[in-house]
Amino acid sequence: MIGFIYKKIIKPILFKFPADDVHTFFLKRGRLLGSINFTKNLLSKILPYKDSVLNTKVAGINFTNPVGLSAGFDYDADLIEVLPSVGFGFHTIGTVTHLPYAGNPRPMLGRLPKSKSLLVNKGFKSMGMEAVLKKIKESPRGRHQSEEAGTIPLGLSIGATNRAYKKIEDMADDVYLSFELALKVNYFDYYELNISCPNLINVENLKEKFDDPVGFAILLNKLSYLNINKPLFIKMHAEKSVAETLALLAVADKYKWISGVIMSNLVKNRENACFDQTEIKNAGKGNFSGKPTEEFSNNLISEVYKKYKDRFIIIGCGGIFTGKDAYEKIKRGASLVQMITGMIYEGPSVIGKINRDLAKLLRKDGYKSVSEAVGKYHK
């Protein structure tokens, strides 16, 4: 019923307004709802789906279900109090940068509903690490200074500030400073390192980038001076070839404090067969989420799992709208999955539906837990 109301009544109204404005509206309202216990309790009774078959332990962290909110939606930590009531199994804040960045010129977001995709061109819009940490400090989780204060695991995605740099080492220093600040507090259960944002308009002058082996090694060498004592996952490109991806992971393999990878980020190629031709011709500047990313993500999950299943934990991200979509990524080798676009088009009740359908699929195949199904295709 909730999904029907969202798709037939609420969404048609929301989609009459610019996507940037609707996103801002939801972040503000979500922050307000998260401050009201009655609202949180009501949502927690009608939206989440709980089933023991969905419980899983990954990188030493307990998850009530494997479906999380990926970085890119709650980029300034407005929703940490309300999202546990919606039904997600975990929640990534960010991507957060060391210095504030107001975002690329509007529109930063757009909709391609026939393509089941969103246009994204925020370029790591962020209020900056210090401001984000201050906001969390004022929340119940921050005041308790403990993971137990949050009802679902909370992660932090970190990326480079979208500004001009003279050399790659300066960009690595910027990321280092963000991690240094984040590690001083005890708010997060895991970290993500985003090396794959395709919308950083101010770094084109650099010879090396974080998404090539040389630049990646420079970054990881710098971060090695820190004591990163929580699981860290690298957010990877969608449109890198298998060989290019494995070359990056060969670099990451040398750093044992890296726990895993996230497959994967946005796509650029507008020739993608998933796009409705009218929508893609009218799309503005930016890159794309949702269904156009799914094939790339799934293929990379399989290839990375086959090569590195005993080394890297995989989080699958891209094109999840149904329980079947999530299960496909799990069977290819993902231990957890993340989503945003499916929630935008289907409404918040879709998280519970995905978990309900995933539980049915697991039991149908005789599995007693998510972990038993991970990498099924390759066993």
Residue 76: which CATH number?
3.20.20.70
Q: CA 12, 17, 21: angle at the middle one, nearest 5?
A: 125
Alpha-carbon distance of 198 to 288, in angstroms, equals: 10
Residue 187's pLDDT is 92
191 - beta bridge partners?
Answer: 156, 232
Pairing status of strand 67-69 against strand 336-339: parallel
Residue 156's pLDDT is 98
- Write down how long the chain is: 379
**Alpha-helical regions (H) of 228-369:** 242-252, 277-282, 291-308, 323-332, 341-346, 349-364
Alpha-carbon distance of 109 to 106, in angstroms, equals: 8
Reply yes or no on whether the pLDDT at 363 is more than 80: yes
Residue 198's pLDDT is 65
Q: What is the pLDDT of residues 136-145, one digit of tens each?
A: 998 877 665 4
What is the residue range of 175's domain? 2-378
147: which residues sit within 8 A by CB, 6+ positions away? 153, 154, 186, 189
Which helix (H) or strand (E) is 5 found in, with range? helix 2-5
Number of folded domains that form the chain: 1
The edge-to-edge listing of strands for the beta sheet with 117-120 is 109-112, 117-120, 287-288
Q: How far is CA 72 from the centre of its chain?
A: 6
Q: Which of 12-26, 53-67, 351-365 has the lowest mean pLDDT?
A: 12-26
SS3 of residue 101 by DSSP:
strand
Is the full-model pTM beyond 0.75?
Answer: yes
The torsion defined by the Cα of 351, 314, 192 and 244, in degrees rounded to 10, comes to -130
Six-digit token pair at 35? Answer: 């401050």
Residue 205's pLDDT is 74
126 - beta bridge partners?
Answer: 101
The DSSP call for residue 86 is T
Residue 177's pLDDT is 98
Q: What is the pLDDT of residues 322-355, one digit of tens each?
A: 999 999 999 999 999 999 999 999 999 999 999 9
Q: What is the pLDDT of residues 239-261, one digit of tens each?
A: 999 999 999 999 999 999 999 99
Residue 314's pLDDT is 99
Pairing status of strand 56-58 against strand 67-69: unpaired
Which helix (H) or strand (E) is 252 found in, with range? helix 242-252
Alpha carbons within 13 angstroms on the beta-carbon side of residue 15 total 15
Q: CB burial class (10 A; 0-12, 13-18, 19+) of residue 253?
A: middle
